[in-house]
């Protein structure tokens, strides 16, 4: 006798067969690649249809961050790894503390590198992961699950909502099929069946990555981490970022390489402070005061 899970999988959008790839096992390498690439073109269009919901989610995240909250991703398998990757890129890119955006994955750290598939099967594991991380309002909990049914993710989101956190959910199943407990915002880019049935690391994973990029990048921009279209709160943690910082200062201010290096040193390597120093003609301390009054926005600081 089949199980309830078997019947559930039969109806999931992510578990259907793709008519465009039924002959892929006999296709040439070039044909395989063309099939995959053609299907990948559907992903950004699916994400674009979800922009109103992504906008709502960004507003929730920004409000939480301004009130001292954090963003927590909770996922399993590919979805969990995408959350971990997105969270890990925030400190070097935007100069934010590592605890500001955190990725939780079923099975813990080991699951990032090697599948721990059974770890996703219990809702209590998601709840405990949030408890261990000290999640509390005004933190935001964002579940990530292509199928929308992963117990670990559902458990995390349920717990977050129960303790008063705002909750988000990123899934690749239709909004009408979204049947977990209510969340504040569901983001549902429906990309259609995968080229290889059920392999949600493909189109679904790409869609989730695009959404997570938008959530954190837009939030960081709204928090003053970008000037024009340049990262100005990045950490000079490796040689590439050191040189990028100098180049940014040079591009904005017109200083040469040595001049930019010297002013950055006066500003303790902080690009934002350097820009305000040069463009407003003030000391490093005065630039910091201006930025503080401007809530970290370079344009506002220059207008003061």
**pLDDT tens-place string over residues 34-72:** 999 999 999 999 999 999 999 999 999 999 999 999 999
Residues 72-110 as b/e (b if ≥16 CB within 10 A, e otherwise) read bbbbbbbbbbbbbebbeebbbbbbbeeebbbbbbbbeee
Same-domain check for residues 211 and 256: no
Strands (DSSP E) along 57-208, which ranges? Answer: 71-75, 101-105, 140-144, 166-170, 185-187
Same-domain check for residues 32 and 180: yes
Give dist(CA 264, CA 205) in Å, integer: 39
Return all residues near 174 (Cβ < 8 A) that are at least 6 apart. 13, 188, 190
Residue 73, pLDDT score: 98
Same-domain check for residues 192 and 257: no
What's the CA dihedral at 110, 112, 115, 120 to 10 degrees? 90
Asked whether residue 14 carries a pLDDT value surpassing 80, the answer given is no
Residue 176, pLDDT score: 83
3 part of a folded domain: no
Q: Residues 173-217: pLDDT tens digits?
A: 998 877 656 899 999 999 999 999 989 999 999 999 999 999 999
- CA 112-138-170 angle, 5° bins: 45
Q: Residues 251-285: pLDDT tens digits?
A: 999 999 999 999 999 999 999 999 999 999 999 99
Asked whether residue 118 carries a pLDDT value surpassing 90, the answer given is no
Active site residue 120: yes
Asked whether residue 157 carries a pLDDT value surpassing 80, the answer given is yes
Same-domain check for residues 238 and 189: no
> Which CATH number covers residue 297?
1.10.8.1080
Label residue 266 exposed, middle or buried (CB < 10 Å: 0-12, 13-18, 19+): middle
Asked whether residue 6 carries a pLDDT value surpassing 70, the answer given is no
Residue 149, pLDDT score: 85
Q: What is the mean pLDDT of the segment spanning 223-245?
A: 89
More confidently predicted of 118 and 131 = 131
Residue 215, pLDDT score: 98
Same-domain check for residues 111 and 236: no
Same-domain check for residues 26 and 89: yes
Last residue of a domain, one of 177, 207, 222: 222
Q: How many domains does the chain have?
A: 2
Neighbours of 262 (CB within 10 A): 12
Mean pLDDT of the chain: 92
Q: What is the mean pLDDT of the segment spanning 99-113?
A: 92
* Closest listed residue to residue 144, CA positions, set 189, 195, 99: 189
Last residue of a domain, one of 200, 222, 244: 222
Q: What is the DSSP letter of 164?
A: T
Same-domain check for residues 212 and 155: yes
- Joined together, the tokens standing for residue 242 give 């050191």
Same-domain check for residues 154 and 26: yes
Last residue of a domain, one of 205, 222, 239: 222
Same-domain check for residues 159 and 249: no
Catalytic residue among 56, 89, 259, 286: 89
Same-domain check for residues 242 and 205: no
Give dist(CA 272, CA 198) in Å, integer: 46
Block residue for tokens 């977990």: 180
* Closest listed residue to residue 209, CA positions, set 223, 228, 191: 191
Domain residues for 233? 226-303
Beta bridge partners, 170, equal 144, 187
125 part of a folded domain: yes
Cα–Cα separations (whole angstroms), residue 267 to 240, 264, 270, 275: 19, 5, 6, 9
Catalytic residue among 39, 120, 127, 194: 120
Q: Residues 68-83: pLDDT tens digits?
A: 999 999 999 999 999 9
Active site residue 259: no
Same-domain check for residues 30 and 173: yes
């Amino acid at each position: 006798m089949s199980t309830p899970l078997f019947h559930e999988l039969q109806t999931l959008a992510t578990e259907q067969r793709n008519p465009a790839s039924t002959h892929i096992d006999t296709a040439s390498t070039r044909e395989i690649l063309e099939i995959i690439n053609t299907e990948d073109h559907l992903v950004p269009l699916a994400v674009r249809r979800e922009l109103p919901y992504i906008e709502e989610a960004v507003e929730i995240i920004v409000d939480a961050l301004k009130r001292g909250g954090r963003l927590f991703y909770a996922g399993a398998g590919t979805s969990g790894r995408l959350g971990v990757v997105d969270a890990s890129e925030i400190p070097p890119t935007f100069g934010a503390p590592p605890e500001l955006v955190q990725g939780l994955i079923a099975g813990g750290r080991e699951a990032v590198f090697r599948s721990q598939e059974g770890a996703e099967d219990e809702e209590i594991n998601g709840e405990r992961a949030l408890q261990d991380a000290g999640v509390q309002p005004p933190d935001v909990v964002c579940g990530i699950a292509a199928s929308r049914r992963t117990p670990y993710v559902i458990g995390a989101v349920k717990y977050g909502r129960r303790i008063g956190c705002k909750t988000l959910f990123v899934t690749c199943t239709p909004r009408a099929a979204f049947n977990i407990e209510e969340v504040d915002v569901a983001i549902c880019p429906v990309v259609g069946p995968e080229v290889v049935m059920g392999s949600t690391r493909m189109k679904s994973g790409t869609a989730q990555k695009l959404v997570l990029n938008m959530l954190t990048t837009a939030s960081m921009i709204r928090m003053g981490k970008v000037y024009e279209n340049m990262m100005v709160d990045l950490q000079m943690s490796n040689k590439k970022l050191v040189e990028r910082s100098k180049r940014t200062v040079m591009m904005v201010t017109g200083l040469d390489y040595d001049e930019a290096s010297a002013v950055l040193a006066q500003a303790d390597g902080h690009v934002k402070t350097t820009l305000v120093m040069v463009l407003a003609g003030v000391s490093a301390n005065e630039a910091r005061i201006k930025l503080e009054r401007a809530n970290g926005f370079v344009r506002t600081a220059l207008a003061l």
